[in-house]
Structure 1
Amino acid sequence: MRRSNVRSANRKRNGNMDAMKLQFRQSTPHRLNLFPRNSKQTFPTSSRLNIVIYASVAISAALFCYVFYKAMGDWSSEKRKFGIVIDGGSTGTRVHVFDYVVKAGVSEFNFRDKGLVSMRVNPGLSSYADDPDKAGRSLERLIEFGKKIVPEELWGETEVRLMATAGLRMLNLSVQDRILDSCRRILRSSTFKFQDSWASVITGTDEGIYAWVVANYALGVLGGDPSNTTGIIELGGASAQVTFVSSEPMPPEFSHVVKVGNASYNLYSHSLLHYGQNVAFDILQESLGSTHSQSVTRTTTQTERVNDPCTPKGYVHLKAPSGSSTQNSIHPAGNFSECRSAALTLLQKGKEECVYQHCHIGSTFTPKLEGSFLATENFFHTSKFFGLNSKGRYISDMMRAGKKFCEDDWLNLRSMYHTLDEEDLMRYCFSSAYIVAFLHDSLGIAMDDERITIANQVRDIPLDWALGAFILQNTQDHPSWINIYVMSDSSRLIAFLIIFVLLMAGAWSLSKWRKPQVKTIYDLEKGKYIISRVNRYS
C-alpha cells in the first residue's frame, strides 16, 4: 500500500510536471514570435515595399544615366560661340569680335581669317573727360558692327566686355566713373549679354600680362615650360609695359603668378604710366618753356626762344609750349643726341626716390631682363616707318635711322613723305630717340643684342592685349562635363537632380520604416537569448 501510494503520488507529480511542460511549450511560440501578424498578412506588404524601393532606385538610376548621357553629348559636341571685347585705348576705342568653338569642354580659337574681326573709332574715351555723358555714344557704331558679325539668335548669349586702359587711368576717379556709367547704359541696351562689372578700367599690370599671354599663345609655348617663354615690351600712347618670366626674387607688388593648364608662370609685370610715347612727347614739349628743364638748351633773345632738339630744322610749331609763362617761340634744332638725352631725362625722373636694388626707369623696380623679347606697338610702328628689319641689331639700326631723320631738313623730309600728316611725321624724330633711350639707356639692352624682335603679330595672330584677356577668360578654368551641362541646360538638370534626390530619399525612408525594431533578452530559465519586436511608436 505504501509503495502503491508512492507510485500514485509520483504519477500525479509527473502528470502535473507534464502539464506544466506542455503549458510552457504552448506559450513558447507566443514569446518567440517576432511578428504578431500571421505570415499571410506580412508577406504581401513586404513585397509591395520591396517593389517600391526597387522601382525608385531603378528610376533614379535611369534619370542619372540620361543626365550623364546628355552631358557627355554636350561635352563632346562642338558648339559655335562668340565673344566681344572693347578696348578703350588712349587714342581710340576698338571692338574685337571673336568667333570660336567649344569642343570637349575646351575653347578652340582661330584668330586668323574670320575668327577675329575688329573695328576702331576715334577719339578715345578719355577725350570725353569734359563731357562724360557723351562717351557711351561713341560705342554705338562698335555695337552695330558687332551685331553684323554675330548671328541674331546668339546675341543674348554673347558676352560683351569693355576694358579701358591708360587713357582713363590718367583721369580722376569721379570722371572715370561717369564715363563708365555712360558706356554701361549703352551696353545694357545692346541686347548682348552684359553685366555692369564687365565695364571697367583695367590695371596696367593686367594689360601687360594679357599682352604676354597672347604673345606666347601665338608662339605656341603657352602652357609649356616657363623657360621657353618670351617676354614682351609694349610702348603705347600713354603707358609702357614690361612683362617676362623672372627667376629673380621680386617685391610682391611686382610678382604675379599666372596659371595656364598645368603650367605656372612667375611673371614680373609693371606698367609705366605717363611713359607712353605720346604722353612723353607732350611732357617734353611742356618742359621746353621751363627754366629748370634739363632736356633743352635755351637761348634768350629779344623775343625769348626755346631750342627743340626733337624737331627737324625748318618745322614751324603752331603753338608755344604750355609750360611757358611768357610768349615763346620754339626753334627746331633737330639734334638726335640732345633729343635722346632729353628723353633719358624724362625716363630717369624720380630715380633718386628708388628704394629697390634695381630701378631702371624712374623709381620703379625692374629685375634683370631674362630670355628673348618681343617689342610691340610703337616700337613696331616706328620701325616700319624707317624700314628696319624686325630682327638683328635693332637698337643700333634705330639710332642710325633716327639720327639721319632728326638732322635732315624739314622741307626735304616733307617732300619724301608727302602722304603723311605733318605732325605725325615730325614726331618720328622723338620716337626714334625715345626708343633708344628706353631700351638701351634705361633697360640696359645692348646695341647689338639680338634677343629683341620687333613685331605687331606672330603667325598672323595680332599681338593685342585684348586677345590675351579673351584667352585667359576662356581657358584658365576648364569646366568638367557636369559643369558644361549645367551651363548649357541648367533648368532641366536641376529638375532631374531634384527628382533624383527625392526618389532616393523616399527609398531610404521606406527601407528604414519596414525594418523592424527589436530587442534581445537573455532568458535565464531557458538559458538562451529571446528576440522580441518593439513598437516603434511606443
Structure 2
Amino acid sequence: MALLGASGVAGLTALILLLVEAASVLLPADLKFGIVFDAGSSHTSLFLYQWPADKENGTGVVSQALACQVEGPGISSYASDPAQAGESLQGCLEEALVLIPEAQRRKTPTFLGATAGMRLLRQKNSSQARDIFAAVTQVLGRSPVDFWGAELLAGQDEGAFGWITVNYGLGMLVKYSFTGEWIRPPEETLVGALDMGGASTQITFVPGGPISDKSTQADFRLYGSDYSVYTHSYLCFGRDQMLSRLLIGLVQAFSNFYYTFHFLNLTSGQPLSTANATIWEFCQRSWKLVEASYPGQDRWLRDYCASGLYILTLLRDGYGFSEETWPTIQFRKQADGIDIGWTLGYMLNLTGMIPAEAPAQWRAQSHSIWVATVVFLVLTLVTVLGAASVQLFWVQD
C-alpha cells in the first residue's frame, strides 16, 4: 500500500506541474503560397512566392521561393498555334507544385499577366490574342491550384507593381527592426523604378506634388500605409522593338537596363561621362576585335552597341538624367534575393485580398518544469511496477 500511495503522490505532482505551470505560446504561422506567370514579349517566367498566413498589418511579408523560365518564346509568338502557348507553361508549373504541400495547392492563387508582347498582338489581331488567352486559361484552369485568371496587364500596372517590387526588396516599405518589430521606413527613402522589357519601357516614382493626369496615377495600401505614384509606360520603346526598327533581330526580354550595362561594366555607379565614353568606345571597335574580345557571346554581342546607345539616350535625353543625377541610378537584376519585375508587386498587393489567419496556440512549459514533470512521471511508473511485482510475489507465495 505504501508503494501505491507513493505512486499516487508522484502522479498527482506530475499532473499539477502539467496543468499549473503550462503557458500558452503562439506557434509559427502556416505558410501561404502564390504563383504569378510573367508572360513577356519574348519569354514567360513563373515566380512562386510564400508568406506567413498571419500577415503584417494587412499585407503579406512575401519571399520568393522559385523562379522558373518557361522554355520557348513568349506566348504572343504562338499566334498560329494557340494551344502550344498553354502547354508551354506545364513544365514550370510542375516545378512549383513540388514545393507546395498538397493540402495547400487548391488554396494557392495563380495568375498570368501578359505584357507588351500581347498588347501589340491584340492591336494587330485581337482574335489571335483571345485564342491564346483561352488556351492559357484552359491549361491553368484544370491545374490543381486556385486560378485567378489570365489577363492583359496594363502598362501602368506593370510599372506600378515593379515600383512596389523594387522598394519592397530594398526594405523601403517595411523592415524588421533590431527590437523584433516590423517598422515603416521614412517615405523620403522611397526610390523610383525604371524598367525596360522587349516591347515597352516604364518609369514610376513618387512625385513631389499632385499628379494632374490621373491616368498616370496608381494608388496602393501596403502594410497599413497609403502610396500614390506617378507611372507611365511607353509601348514600342522596349529594347526588342527599338532594335527591330533598326532591322536587328532580337529575342531577349529581361531587365535590359541591367543586362546591357552589366556587359559594358557600367553598373557600379560610374558617372554619366564614363558611361558615355565607354559606350562610344565599344561601338567604334571593329567587329573582328569585338568578337575576339568576347568569345562565346555571339548571340547577343551584335546588339550591345545599339542597345547601349538607346539606353543612354533614353535616360539622358528622354528621362532627363544629368551628370549630377546619373549616380543615383542603380542598375540591378535583384533586390534582397528577389527578381526585379512586376510579379512580386502584384503578389504583395494580392495578399491584401486574402484573409489573414491567426497563429495556432499551444501549451508549453519551461525546460526545468518539463524535466521535473518527467522525473515524477518516471517515479510514478517505477513505484507502480514495484507495487505490482510485490503483489505478484505474495500471490505466488
How high is the TM-score relative to the length of structure 2?
0.73
Say whether the 8 Å CA contact 2:258–2:267 is kept in structure 1: no
Distance 2:80 2:323 in 1: 44
Q: Hey, what does 1:430 align to over in structure 2?
A: 306
CA 1:389–1:139: 2 relative to 1, 3 Å: closer
The 2-side partners of 1:253 and 1:451 are apart by 27
Counting only pairs closer than 5 Å after superposition, residues 237-252 of structure 1 correspond to structure 2 as 237-249=198-210, 250-252=212-214
C-alpha distance 258-100 of structure 1, shift in aligned 2 (>3 A): closer
Match of 2:135 among 182, 185, 190: 182
1:397 correspondence with 2:358: no
Asked if 2 retains the 8 angstrom alpha-carbon contact of 1:226 and 1:245, the reply is no
Q: 1:411 to 1:248 in 2, by over 3 A?
A: same
Deviation at 1:451, TM superposition (A): 1.6
AA partner of residue 111 (structure 1):
S
Q: Which amino acid aligns with 1:229?
A: L
Inter-CA distance 430–166: structure 2 relative to 1 (3 Å threshold): same
- Partner of 1:121, secondary structure, is coil
Aligned to 1:111: 63
* Local SS of the residue matching 1:400: helix
Superposed displacement of residue 230, structure 1 = 0.3
User: Which of 18, 30, 38 is the aligned partner of 1:79?
Assistant: 30
Deviations 1:94-117 (A, max 9, x none): 1111233213676654536xx344
**Structure 2 CA distance for partners of 1:418 and 1:392, relative to 1, 3 Å:** closer
Counterpart in 1 of 2:158?
207
Distance 1:465 1:258 in 2: 14
User: Which segment drifts farther, 86-95 or 168-177?
Assistant: 168-177
Asked if the contact 1:160–1:194 (Cα under 8 Å) also holds between the matched residues in 2, the reply is: yes
Q: Quick one: structure 1 residues 442 and 107, their matched pair in 2 at CA, closer, same or farther if it must change by over 3 Å?
A: closer
Partner of 2:333: 456
1:407-446 counterparts in 2 under 5 A?
407-422=284-299, 424-446=300-322
Check whether the contact 1:126–1:168 (CA below 8 A) recurs between aligned residues.
Answer: yes
> The residue matched to 1:103 in structure 2 has which SS?
coil
**Counterpart Cα distance in 1 of 2:163 and 2:269:** 19
| Deviation, structure 1 residue 92 | 0.6
* Residues 225-374 of structure 1: pairs in structure 2 closer than 5 A: 225-249=186-210, 250-285=212-247
Residue 89 of structure 1 aligns with an amino acid whose one-letter code is G
Aligned positions of 1:17-56 closer than 5 A: none
Map 1:184-199 → 2, pairs under 5 A: 184-195=137-148, 198-199=149-150
For 1:147 and 1:230, locate their aligned partners in 2 and report how far apart those are by CA, in whole Å: 34
Paired with 1:122 and 1:401, the residues of 2 have a C-alpha distance of 34
User: Does the CA-based 8 Å contact 2:59-2:349 persist in structure 1?
Assistant: no
Instruction: State the distance in 1 between where 2:273 and 2:142 align.
Output: 52
Secondary structure at 2:63 match in 1? coil
Counterpart of 1:134 in structure 2 is 84
Cα 1:418/1:218, change in 2 over 3 Å: same
How far did 1:183 drift?
0.5
The CA RMSD measured in Å over matched residues stands at 2.6
The structure with the larger Rg is 1
Whether contact under 8 Å (2:45, 2:67) holds in the other structure is no
- Name the aligned partner's letter for residue 211 of structure 1: G
Q: Give 1:387's match in structure 2, choosing from 265, 274, 279.
A: 265
Matched, 1:163 2:39: no
Identity of aligned residues (%): 30
Distance apart, 1:258 and its partner CA:
2.0
Aligned partner of 2:45 among 90, 94, 98: 94
Q: Is the 8 A contact 2:68 2:92 kept in 1?
A: no
Are 1:153 and 2:103 an aligned pair? Answer: yes
Is the CA contact 1:100–1:107 (under 8 Å) kept in the aligned structure 2?
Answer: no
Residue 63 of structure 2 aligns with an amino acid whose one-letter code is F
Q: Deviations over 1:465-489 (max 9, x none)?
A: 1111111111x35847xxx48xx9x
- In 2: Cα distance, 1:410 partner to 1:265 partner: 48
Distance (whole Å) between structure 2 residues aligned to residue 238 and residue 389 of structure 1: 23
Q: Which amino acid aligns with 1:191?
A: P
* Structure 1 counterpart SS, 2:127: helix
Contact 1:110 1:116 in 2 (8 A): no
- Residue 133 and residue 466 in structure 1: after superposition, are their counterparts in 2 closer, same or farther (change >3 A)? same
Residue 246 of structure 1 aligns to a residue whose secondary structure is coil
How many aligned residue pairs are there? 316
Q: Give per-residue Cα distances to partners, 1:292-333, cap 9 Å, x unaligned.
A: xxxxxxxxxxxxxxxxxxxxxxxxx9xxxxxxxxxxxxxxxx
For residues 389 and 127 of structure 1, what CA distance do their matches in structure 2 show?
A: 32
| Contact persistence 2:216–2:231 (CA under 8 A) | yes
For 1:247, give the aligned amino acid: G
Distance 1:454 1:383 in 2: 8
Residue by residue over 1:68-114, the C-alpha shift from the partner in whole angstroms, topping out at 9 and shown as x without a partner, is xxxxx9x98611222111110111111111233213676654536xx
Superimposed CA distance per residue, residues 128-151 of structure 1 (whole angstroms, 9 cap, x where no aligned partner): 122223211111112222222222
> 2:16 corresponds to which residue?
none
- Tell me if the contact between 1:85 and 1:96 (Cα under 8 Å) persists in the aligned partners: yes
Alpha-carbon distance in 2 for matches of 1:269, 1:104: 27
Give deviations 1:395-450, integer Å, cap 9, x for gaps.
3322212111111111111111121134x111101011101110111211103422
Change in 2 beyond 3 A, CA 1:455/1:401? same
User: What is the rounded CA distance, in whole Å, between the counterparts of 2:264 and 2:324 in structure 1?
Assistant: 18
Q: How far does residue 234 in structure 1 lie from its aligned partner after superposition?
A: 0.7
Q: Helix, strand or coil: the match of 1:136?
A: helix
Q: CA deviation at 1:224?
A: 4.6
Aligned with 1:438: secondary structure?
helix
Shift of 1:259: 2.1
* Partner amino acid, structure 1, of 2:192: G
Report the residue type matching 1:270 in the other structure: H
Shift, 1:127, TM fit: 0.4
Letter paired with 1:169? R
Specify the code of the residue in structure 2 equivalent to 1:245.
Answer: V
Paired with 2:226 and 2:63, the residues of 1 have a C-alpha distance of 24
User: Which one scores higher on RCO, CA 8 angstroms, separation ≥ 6?
Assistant: 2
Question: Is the Cα contact below 8 Å between 2:196 and 2:239 reproduced in 1?
Answer: yes
